[in-house]
Amino acid sequence: MATGGTEPVATGGTAPVARRVLVTGIVQGVFFRDSCRRQARAAGVAGWVRNRADGRVEALFEGPPAAVERLVTWCREGPPHADVDAVEVSDQPLSGAEGFRLR
């Protein structure tokens, strides 16, 4: 799914945004990362997701505001076997991420 050029794809004339998300609860060992990657790719959101040593899942989402917010909302539920207790969201500077990967 390559696009021509290095410019981000504009959606509705809005500039891309970046959000860092920390998800607390039963979120490791329940396919949270892989499910998140699939959701992000389907939404056209770039970034990454990883398990943290403290038991949380951390993700960075970059893309059109509506798509990024869909991913943040998805993180509040996660995949079927997850049990999300809390989600911390913070604005981040754009890093120019391409694609979405597991870390």
Active-site annotation, residues? 33, 51
Largest Cα–Cα separation, the chain = 41
Distance CA 26, CA 71 (A): 18
Q: CB 96: neighbour CB atoms within 10 A?
A: 11
